[in-house]
Amino acid sequence: MKSSWTNLLVLRFSSIGDIIQTTSVLNTLRKYYPDISIDYMTLSKYAPLLFDHSSIDKLHSLDSNNSFKSIKSIKAIINQRNFDLILDLHNSTRSKFIRAITNQIQSLNVIKPRAKRFSLFLNHHNKFPSNFNQKTWFHEPIEKLLPDKYKISKISLSISEEEKTISKLLLNNNGLDNNNYFVVIPGAAWHQKQWGVDKYISFIYQCATKYGLTPVLLGSNKDNVCNEINQGLTIKSINLYGKTDLRQSMAIISQSKLCVGSDTGFIYASEALGVNTIAILGPTSMETGAGVFSKNTLNIEDKNLWCRPCSQNGSFPCYRGKQYCMENITSKDVLENVEKILV
């Protein structure tokens, strides 16, 4: 397809999972408009996610503060690149400001479905279409630019062979002498999205012994749950809690046989890297932007529980006193789903 615009700037500033989901839009645009130039702007702490992405021509990173220096940097980038279209996939205060100072450039933006989510959380009345998810939502602003029966592209990330080699050395130095491992990501930004420690311990033991795989625990230095799980295991495990950066974590995940974890950023990195992935969903759902959807991925959730989803990001404490959305999911449930994709 031909377009009336040639230089596109995409805006999304957080967080890991959402940024990864936007790669579907990049890939769709690249498919239907192979000749356009696509730039992407995000925060510097998230920029490594998108290194060497095949659908990005130039990646721009900003400091998280809103200083005068950052504003000057934004203006300089826009002046240098001659954008004729801005695609705002965040619609945040920061992205609105960028659109305001570049109002001479045409822009498109997502519209957050706040009313539908409010109705869902408060009245448990689901007004979302059955096919709604984060990828379909990110595509809404560009639908008029695409053919009537366009296909939504997969999410994707890129890892180099050198990065894979370095990650193997890291695993070897921590006691893993082969590639037969699976990754567990038990942490999450909010405690309510974490599955129980005892449940993880039970599942990891069963999965490791059944499939002959070594468990590798990944998490940031805030995810002490990795230590709690590791201390309860009676089998060999590799605990890399707080020992890896974004790219190292992605490289380790990319070579694993399986990745299991909470509704958190690295679960979506696993899906984007084509790894067998299982997401354990509690207080969030596809209506809030959660969930994996590729062929070799599965979501485990209690779809019949009337009180979920209960918040946009799982940050609200459970008002029922007992978190049934996580309590109702057993280690047997997760293991049975592993059997469906490890065939």
Q: What is the pLDDT of residues 180-236, one digit of tens each?
A: 999 999 999 999 999 999 999 999 999 999 999 999 999 999 999 999 999 999 999
Peptide bond before 15: cis, by omega within 30 degrees of 0? yes
Spatial separation of the C-alpha atoms in residues 255 and 274, rounded to whole Å: 10
User: What confidence score (pLDDT) does residue 61 get?
Assistant: 93
299: pLDDT strictly greater than 70: yes
**Single pTM value for the model:** 0.95
User: What confidence score (pLDDT) does residue 65 get?
Assistant: 73
1: pLDDT strictly greater than 80: no
| Radius of gyration of the chain, Cα coordinates, nearest whole angstrom | 21
User: What confidence score (pLDDT) does residue 64 get?
Assistant: 79
User: What confidence score (pLDDT) does residue 69 get?
Assistant: 66
Spatial separation of the C-alpha atoms in residues 269 and 249, rounded to whole Å: 9
User: What confidence score (pLDDT) does residue 277 get?
Assistant: 98
Residues of the chain with CATH 3.40.50.2000: 7-145, 161-341
User: What confidence score (pLDDT) does residue 67 get?
Assistant: 59
Token pair, residue 232, equals 């309860």
User: What confidence score (pLDDT) does residue 73 get?
Assistant: 83
Per-residue pLDDT tens over the stretch 8-65: 999 999 999 999 999 999 999 999 999 999 999 999 999 999 999 999 999 999 987 7
- Residue 299's DSSP bridge partners are 279
Q: How many CB atoms lie within 10 A of CB 228?
A: 15
Round the average pLDDT of the chain to a whole number and report it: 94
b/e map of 192-221 (b: 16 or more CB within 10 Å)? bbbbbbebbbbbbbebbeeeebbbbbbbbe
User: What confidence score (pLDDT) does residue 2 get?
Assistant: 58
Per-residue pLDDT tens over the stretch 49-91: 999 999 999 999 998 776 566 778 888 898 899 999 999 999 9
Q: How many CB atoms lie within 10 A of CB 122?
A: 9
DSSP state of 88: E
97: pLDDT strictly greater than 80: yes
Q: How many CB atoms lie within 10 A of CB 101?
A: 12
Percent of the chain with pLDDT over 70: 98
CB 152 within 8 A of CB 135: yes
| Correct CATH for 161-341 of 3.90.550.10, 3.40.50.2000, 1.20.1240.10, 3.30.70.2080 | 3.40.50.2000
102: pLDDT strictly greater than 80: yes
CATH of the domain spanning 7-145: 3.40.50.2000
Half-sphere exposure of 204 (CA within 13 A, CB side): 32
